[in-house]
Structure 1
Amino acid sequence: MALEVKERKSDAERITDDERRGKTKMGTLKAIAMVKSQKLRNSLKRRRRSSGSLLAIKDIRDEQEQIAVDEFRQILISENLLPAKHDDYHILLRFLKARKFDIEKTKHMWAEMLQWRKEFGADTIEEDFDYTEIDEVKKYYPHGSHGVDKEGRPIYIERLGKVEPNKLMHVTTMERYLRYHVLEFERSLNRKFPACSVASKKHINSTTTILDVAGLGLKNLSKTARELLLQIHKIDADNYPETLHRMFIINAGPGFRLLWNSIKGFLDPKTTSKISVLGNKYQSKLLEVIDASQLPDFLGGDCSCPNEGGCLHSDKGPWNDPVIMQAVMDGEVQNARHIVTISAGNEVVDNSRCRKCKESDLSTAESGSDVEDVLSPQGSCVYHRPTLTPVREEVLIAL
């Protein structure tokens, strides 16, 4: 009997020892995880501190446009039409450009946008909506963001000739696809454009789009497909204007060119100036504005993204850099803007930020098509006047 009690005690002691060792091991793993997490946070902080120019975003603005934006902003405030989320210079400017700076027309467009966002749930769609069928959808509608052009803008690609609308509607619904489309636009506004602005050191709020129409025919343009494209076009034109910088339509055969010639007659000439319709010898044109490392191999570039299942599945871009995204999520991008105003003369002077520009070494910011990269010998924030981008209407073609 005594032996049995002793054995039971030994078993209990062994169980206690095992539990103790398990807890110790778990505690050690937690401690290791906490240390690694802290090391990562410290590493991110060090990288951000050591790259003072990382958060130096050159934001060039036209003086007359600033006056128009300020006037429009005051009107919206007086009529309680300016939620804090949308109180942003560049958002207001995009809507003004879409209505050619007609204040009344812009205000009407703005009010309808706010109402649509409320009804659609656009402000919370990133938290509320999960598009679980995305991998299946991309089989029948190949598309995606991939890399940036030479000016730092995100590249968006669609292979319209490979769209299978009937199969697409078997794996999703039109309503869910439209919600997914809005979700991606919100991600571009809230994440991709700010990340590209940090990476390129200048304000970015538009995309370069490539539409591959190789093989496009009536089979791709069913009634359902046309309806979906029309609804996408309306959402974009009404609520996300002036977010297209340029568009390349590639592999356009004689049939498409005939269709395009009939379509472009109904478009604003300033809109059509954004669009280049190219045949099957398009690679050199794309490589003029996109580095080969950022262009998928099926479009003549060097990238294939084999570890991500192909370029259209990779979502490659600066929005995947943890340092950049930490700055974006912390709201540091707005404070990193160094506003440079284009005056009526031949020079650009930022009176309020010159000292800050010099301290951040904005003189090393990369040049782009929006501004000539020239500096005064004294190192002040004075630049020669760049050529202004003309005001253009947004376009998304319902092919």
Structure 2
Amino acid sequence: MAAPTPAPSELELDPKHDNYDFPTTPPRPQNGHPGYLTAQQQAQVHQLRLTLESEGYTERLDTLTLLRFLRARKFDVDLSKKMFVECEAWRKETNLDEVLPTWDYPEKGEIFKYYPQYYHKTDKDGRPVYIEQLGGIDLNAMYKITTAERMLTNLAVEYERVSDPRLPACSRKAGTLLETCCSIMDFKGVGLGKASQVFGYVKQASGLSQNYYPERLGHLYLINTPWGFSTVWNVVKGWLDPVTVQKIHVFGSSYKDELLKQVPAENLPKQFGGTCECAGGCQFSDMGPWREAEWARPAKWEKKADATIQTAPSAVTEGAGTSAAAPAVVEATDAAKADAAAPAAA
């Protein structure tokens, strides 16, 4: 039985780590979320932060981030700390913080011929919509264009861009805190011959999202699911947290009416029953509040990169033959794969 939602209260912010320029109150009361914490839950936030600080961690200790890790582990501080520490170790191993500001993925257009993965506008709650089309996946062909490591790096970079700037921009436009995405996974074209490749890859991707980007799933629509999928799903959902199960909706080819209840027709690409036809293709537009001047702001990681470049020693002060440079793009070499994107994390 779910714990009752506590009475609303002002979120206790930490002046050292909390510097939000977007709303921090969720659109509806939810136990364990900002503004709806018990005294014990608030104390657990402080305990987790102090424990991490005592072990030398200085980044990503803001209240909203810590709350996501705590919710993912049912407010067990020790388990939440373990999850956070493992995430930080992964970031270090993959050089993600150095990769992020300068990441370039020029092979995207070719990869999208096989596996479109993209964010496109918002649902009726104001959350980013994330879309994956699985039917064309051909890993052998894709690995002739890029590497598994670069695909993982790009997935992680897109998760980072969801955290900032996408979700903050959506929160500003909605006027409430938005921390999750609405994801659509299209299984059209996934037959028995492709099933092992598709599900193997999705399992890896889901691992990345669950382990390193918790509490990012708002809704997940599985559409055009193949024959027999519902039977499998009825077994699988018995292994999942009931809260997660409530977020996942499984449909065959008759999904459009249900999908349009959550995503406005003008925001949904035409091929999925909406009316949107972006110039150059919806999969390449990256349209959303994060592209609208009224709501968009530079991401914190962009500001840090700019500050690093601006304060770096000049070629003159460094000596002849040297020059300041932006961080090099370093490929992730040992990423666990989680949908973003399926980037959606429970």
Indicate how the Cα distance of structure 1 residues 227 and 133 shifts in structure 2: closer, same or farther if over 3 A, else same. same
CA distance in 1, matches of 2:200, 2:167: 29
- Larger-gyration structure (1/2): 1
Post-superposition shift, 1:322? 2.8
Question: Would you say 1:312 and 2:283 are equivalent positions?
Answer: yes
Given that 2:179 and 2:216 are in contact with CA atoms closer than 8 Å, whether structure 1 keeps it comes out as yes
Post-superposition shift, 1:262? 2.9
CA distance in 1, matches of 2:300, 2:81: 30
Given that 1:195 and 1:319 are in contact with CA atoms closer than 8 Å, whether structure 2 keeps it comes out as yes
Q: CA RMSD in A?
A: 2.6
Unpaired segments ≥5 residues, structure 2: 1-20, 27-34, 304-340
Given that 2:183 and 2:221 are in contact with CA atoms closer than 8 Å, whether structure 1 keeps it comes out as yes
Given that 1:165 and 1:220 are in contact with CA atoms closer than 8 Å, whether structure 2 keeps it comes out as no
Structure 1 counterpart of 2:201: 228
CA distance in 1, matches of 2:24, 2:124: 16
The alignment of Structure 1 onto Structure 2 pairs a total of residues equal to: 278
Given that 2:132 and 2:342 are in contact with CA atoms closer than 8 Å, whether structure 1 keeps it comes out as no
Write the deviation string for residues 160-194 of structure 1: whole angstroms up to 9, x where unpaired.
12323332222111111001101111111121111
Structure 2 counterpart of 1:280: 253
Indicate how the Cα distance of structure 1 residues 56 and 117 shifts in structure 2: closer, same or farther if over 3 A, else same. closer
Given that 1:304 and 1:311 are in contact with CA atoms closer than 8 Å, whether structure 2 keeps it comes out as yes
Structure 2 counterpart of 1:293: 266
Secondary structure of 1:140's aligned partner: coil
Amino acid corresponding to residue 204 of structure 2 in structure 1 = Q
Write the deviation string for residues 121-168 of structure 1: whole angstroms up to 9, x where unpaired.
121222243211001010000221111011110000111123233322
Structure 2 counterpart of 1:67: 43
Structure 1 counterpart of 2:190: 216
Post-superposition shift, 1:259? 2.5
Given that 1:244 and 1:395 are in contact with CA atoms closer than 8 Å, whether structure 2 keeps it comes out as no
CA distance in 1, matches of 2:155, 2:22: 31
Post-superposition shift, 1:331? 9.9
Unpaired segments ≥5 residues, structure 1: 1-54, 333-393
RCO comparison, higher one (Cα < 8 Å, 6+):
2
Given that 1:160 and 1:220 are in contact with CA atoms closer than 8 Å, whether structure 2 keeps it comes out as no
Post-superposition shift, 1:231? 2.8
CA distance in 1, matches of 2:301, 2:218: 27
Question: Would you say 1:268 and 2:275 are equivalent positions?
Answer: no
Indicate how the Cα distance of structure 1 residues 98 and 227 shifts in structure 2: closer, same or farther if over 3 A, else same. same
TM-score (norm 1): 0.64
Amino acid corresponding to residue 291 of structure 2 in structure 1 = N
Secondary structure of 1:208's aligned partner: strand
Secondary structure of 2:56's aligned partner: coil
1:206 to 180, 195, 203: 180
1:119 to 72, 93, 106: 93
More helix by share: 1
TM-score (norm 2): 0.74
CA distance in 1, matches of 2:159, 2:228: 31
Structure 2 counterpart of 1:184: 158
Given that 2:22 and 2:171 are in contact with CA atoms closer than 8 Å, whether structure 1 keeps it comes out as no
Amino acid corresponding to residue 312 of structure 1 in structure 2 = Q
CA distance in 2, matches of 1:188, 1:170: 28
Structure 2 counterpart of 1:195: 169
Amino acid corresponding to residue 214 of structure 1 in structure 2 = K
1:250 to 223, 227, 230: 223
